Structure 1
Amino acid sequence: MRSRFYTSLSILIVLCISCVNTDDFELPEPESLKDDFNGITTSISAVKGHYNIETKEIYTFQETDVFMEGYVISSDEGGNFYKKLVLQDKPENPTSGIQILVDDASLFNSYEFGRKLYIKLDGLSLWKNNGVMQLGIQNRGDVVVIPKALIEEHLIKSIKRENITPISLTLSEFSLAYANLYVQVEDVQFNKNLVRDAHIFSLAGESTDRYDAERQLESCIDGFTTMLSTSTYSDFKSMLLPKGSGSITGVLSRNFYDDHFVLILNSPKDLNFSSGSRCDPEFFTCGNETEMGVELLFEENFNAITNENMLDRKGWTNININGGKRFEDATLLGNRFLRVSAYNTMESPMEVWLVTPNINLDKSIEEVLTFEIKASFDNATILTVYITDDFTGNPRTTNWKLLDAQVPKGPSNQNGLIFKKSEFDISCFNGNVNIAFKYLGSAPDKTTTYDIDNVRVTGN
């Protein structure tokens, strides 16, 4: 009996000791194990070198036993990437990236962020599409997704999974050299017109959003702008844009038409705007009294403007600094207004100023300025509005005061558009004032169309 007691006690002690954490017993981390892949490998950069930029012909790898290696930097867990993996050549300080088209909408389950992959090239085709390099299967002049039956044959998982360190860039440093790489930008904010209290935009949940919604980002460092692109099929499309400033981490890519750079999030957690304050320019204001007065001091609805000469005779200044396209009269559904756009102009930059005639405020008080703006084919917010009481006749030599105009975010077409009204208290001015609408476009990436209508000043 005593023998059996001591035997049981001994077993219990051994079991207890075996449960104690010690520094002598640690599970090996899979990432620390040596990669046992022994095939012939090549780099992403070398693979992309097979594409002929001049002929733009699809290149198909044939009768080769070479594998391309890279690290996964995209995740489709949130639905913001669809049937594609983005790979870069190194987990830190990468130099080249590429997209792999794969017929699987849940790639994150098998090919996690940071996972090293070997891509069997034999049978795959390379092309440049929407501004970025892609690998897939050639099909009648296109490169399409690798079919499900061939995924495991072409995508070989390494046991290595590394931490990915994003490249730190400013918006002005964006270039094709960084396309398909994991980057981070600091001190950026969303355009103020997207985060006004009256309507804070979501990432991609607006009624006008189609497929990939774009939201303009502005740098607090160098003033450059870019777009955050979010799929309307993503799980986080309804998330409201943060009001402040901060950092964004994501994959640098190009928009569908290859007009401009876009950032694409893996997760909304990659938006870090928790504590940064905004860096908007200083807007001029006389006060907050915007009730229209009983006396009409100035009005222009452009209904009678059918050519430039008529605009000149009324005292308007309509000038393109570089001599190109200016504001033009346009009509939609019987309503006439002035329109400007850099689309199809080849102008870069396209700087256009539309300045009102003198508006005299000497015989009135409590003056209020109103005007209406409509946006369409929107790919950037590039219209600003100013006021001055000392117009020199040259917009560039005039001392302007910037107004906080409500420049609308328009859709990518003209369906369902409405004008948005801005109202300003200008009662602190005397004498003559002039209002200016400045358009600063750049073809082909900043070509938003703007319509201006119903410019009025009232007083009492």
Structure 2
Amino acid sequence: MKNKYKNLISILFLLLFCNCNEDVAIPKLECTQPDLKVNRTVEDVLKTATITATKYVYDDVIEAYVVSSDESGNFFKTLYLQTLATENKPAIGFSISVDATNTYIDYRIGNKVYIKLKDQFTDLFYGGMRIGSLYEGNSGAASVGRISQNDYKSVLNASCTLLDEDKLVNSISIEESLDDNKLNTLIELSNVQFTEATNGRHYFEEANNVGGSTNWHLRDKSGNQIIFRTSSFADFSTHLVPEGSGKVRGILTKYGSDYQLMVRSEKDVVMDGKSSVPFFTEDFQTVSNNVNFALPGWSNIVEKASKLWRTMVSAGNGYAEFNTTSTTAAENIAWLISPKINLTGYKNTVFSFRSAQHDLKVDSPLNKLEVYISTNFDGSNVTKATWIKLDAKVPSLSTPTREFISSGGIDLSAYSGNINIAFKYIGSGKDKTLNGAFMVDDVKMFGEK
């Protein structure tokens, strides 16, 4: 009997430990490459899409790469796919809604997917293309909706090709992201941070519930902003919004006129830098319409002729404007100069503003808006001060009339102490080809404390 027990123990010992020094093979996921031939491009399909849901009747196949994921719960029953950008063609994105969850298992980020278009519908939703089944609401209006649970895998055919998402992401600025051509694509914003309203707040909060999600804002050092949207079902929804500045990667979407960034997971938010804070802002919302500019601390000075800067209000928005169309002087030169701004205690200071034009006839050095900085302006004598011209983006004849554009972030880290910012206009009233108007708004200074 003892020998039987000894033999049994020996067998168990061998079974447990005989392979302890050998590697255990990890089973590999099997992949079957779809036998499909691509005969159309996403660009071709986009050209035919309209705001009306339209049935696709041809037996065509397109290919695109998955850039979204519902694994963390911030996306629900919608996949976002895009083409691979080339040197000559930017990526084109679109969305496909399916009546299924956990789609990240079959459609991983970077996965090339073949889409069979026959009998599907396309439309444009706030500028972005959708592909899917026909949906008719209670009102009878038709739109593109979800592909059924039974059908979506026959429409969306995942390939065995998996591309690194770094080859798909587009690193751009907030200003560049506000563009319908980039909708439904994977973008990354650098040198951004959450606005001060998020301090001590969670990604999702019931008090800020907008359709089951919370909208916060990301801001860059030029003051440009974009909505950051988090679903109540995201697995990070109860986490605190991080402080600091850094990079945020996600899918660019749009609802109405609002551009929104949606991350796939909390890993898409990397805040490893210091926050910058606005320490000087002027949005001109307290001004009166069509009167000479007169705000406390500001200087409105004529160098040539007699025309002054004026304040204007249009559609509830106040701004400063210099307009030579009503003057007859051969040359007008006028300065709009900020109050003294103390940079002490701030690092990596960045200055920005927005500007627009109307009634320009030509782009000319005799009809232009320039921006300057001074450290010795005495508050009245503009010609005795030393002025350094700043490299700012300002409107030109090609800029759509009355459309405000950002100056871009202007680096003032080389300056300290008190400074003044000046907007200088040069133009003619007598020479009608050299007249027109420039508008200035949203003057801001940001710095790290």
TM-score, normalising length: structure 2 = 0.55
Q: Amino acid of the residue matched to residue 219 of structure 2?
A: E
Report deviation, 1:151.
1.6
- Which of 132, 138, 152 is matched with 1:136 structurally? 132
Residue 385 of structure 1 is matched in structure 2 by none
Whole-Å separation in 2 of the counterparts to 1:181 and 1:34: 26
Q: Amino acid of the residue matched to residue 351 of structure 1?
A: Y
Report deviation, 1:247.
1.2
Report deviation, 1:248.
0.8
Within 5 Å, give how 1:28-427 maps onto structure 2: 36-42=33-39, 46-52=41-47, 56-64=51-59, 66-90=60-84, 95-139=91-135, 140-165=141-166, 166-174=169-177, 175-192=179-196, 194-196=197-199, 200-211=200-211, 212-220=213-221, 222-253=222-253, 255-257=254-256, 259-273=257-271, 275-282=272-279, 326=313, 340=316, 351=319, 396-401=336-341
Whole-Å separation in 1 of the counterparts to 2:12 and 2:161: 39
Whole-Å separation in 2 of the counterparts to 1:105 and 1:445: 41
Mark the runs of 5 or more structure 2 residues left unpaired by the alignment.
Answer: 1-5, 136-140, 301-307, 322-333, 344-401, 407-449
Distance 1:244-1:206 versus aligned 2 partners, 3 A rule: farther
Whole-Å separation in 1 of the counterparts to 2:77 and 2:335: 50
Mark the runs of 5 or more structure 1 residues left unpaired by the alignment.
Answer: 285-301, 329-339, 342-349, 354-393, 404-441, 447-460
The CA deviation string for residues 417-455 of structure 1, in whole angstroms up to 9 with x for no partner, is: xxxxxxxxxxxxxxxxxxxxxxxxx98999xxxxxxxxx
Q: Amino acid of the residue matched to residue 150 of structure 1?
A: D
Report deviation, 1:223.
4.4
Whole-Å separation in 1 of the counterparts to 2:225 and 2:195: 9
Q: Amino acid of the residue matched to residue 47 of structure 1?
A: V
Distance 1:35-1:71 versus aligned 2 partners, 3 A rule: farther
Distance 1:47-1:138 versus aligned 2 partners, 3 A rule: farther
Tell me, yes or no, if the aligned pair for 2:309 and 2:336 is still in contact at 8 Å: no
Whole-Å separation in 2 of the counterparts to 1:206 and 1:400: 42
Q: Amino acid of the residue matched to residue 276 of structure 2?
A: C
Distance 1:106-1:54 versus aligned 2 partners, 3 A rule: closer
What RMSD, in angstroms, separates the aligned Cα atoms of the two structures?
Answer: 4.7
Tell me, yes or no, if the aligned pair for 2:252 and 2:262 is still in contact at 8 Å: yes
The CA deviation string for residues 304-357 of structure 1, in whole angstroms up to 9 with x for no partner, is: xxx989x99x9999x9x99896399xxxxxxxxxxx45xxxxxxxx6369xxxx
The aligned length equals 314
Report deviation, 1:210.
1.4
Report deviation, 1:81.
1.4
Identity of aligned residues (%): 22
Tell me, yes or no, if the aligned pair for 1:42 and 1:69 is still in contact at 8 Å: no
Report deviation, 1:207.
1.0
